[in-house]
Amino acid sequence: MTDTVVGDNTIVFAEGIPGFPDHREFQLVDFADGESAFQLLQSTTDPDLSMIVCSPWIFFPDYAPEISDADRDGLELVNPDDAVVFCPVTIDSEASLSVNLLGPFVVNAGNRHGRQVVLVDSDYAVRTPIEIVAT
């Protein structure tokens, strides 16, 4: 597994993502202000629909998601090194940040197919607080 984020080519989520079943294609887009820790996962059909994402290892170096065989098969992930993992970030109305460690996005860098997987029997939480890192 690698914590580098793929380029800004289209990633196909064949089943959509939970809550947004109609959006199947997304791109990773940089923030215009040069922000380095976070990127946007943006729908290619609706640029106003995006989600902040980050590499979980920036904040949780020991993060160890176990991708199920079913998800590996679904992504045709043969080589584990092809898995690119990033997590949704939420900034609430109090400007507090949290990262979803239970439902990471996994992209097969080989075929650019992605899935939001839900880790099974895991202690990771959907809202894990993080503090912004001064850059």
Partner 1 sequence: MLVLSRREGESVVIGNDIVVTVLEVRGGQIRLGVEAPRSLQVHREEIFREVSEANRTAMGSTDEHQARLDAARKRTD
Distance, in Å, from the CA atom of 51 to the CA atom of 87, rounded to the nearest integer, reads 10
Of the two residues 15 and 81, which places its CB atom closer to partner 1 in the complex? Answer: 15
Which of 44, 49, 110, 111: binder of partner 1 (CB under 8 A)? 49
Distance, in Å, from the CA atom of 3 to the CA atom of 81, rounded to the nearest integer, reads 10
* Angstrom distances, CA of residue 19 to CA of 40, 55, 78: 17, 21, 28
User: Which residues between 57 and 116 bind partner 1 (CB under 8 A)?
Assistant: 70-71, 73-74, 88-92, 94-97, 100, 102-103, 115-116
Which of 15, 64, 78, 81: binder of partner 1 (CB under 8 A)? 15
**18 binds partner 1 per the rule CB under 8 A:** yes
Contact 17, 54 (CB under 8 A): no
Of the two residues 88 and 109, which places its CB atom closer to partner 1 in the complex? Answer: 88
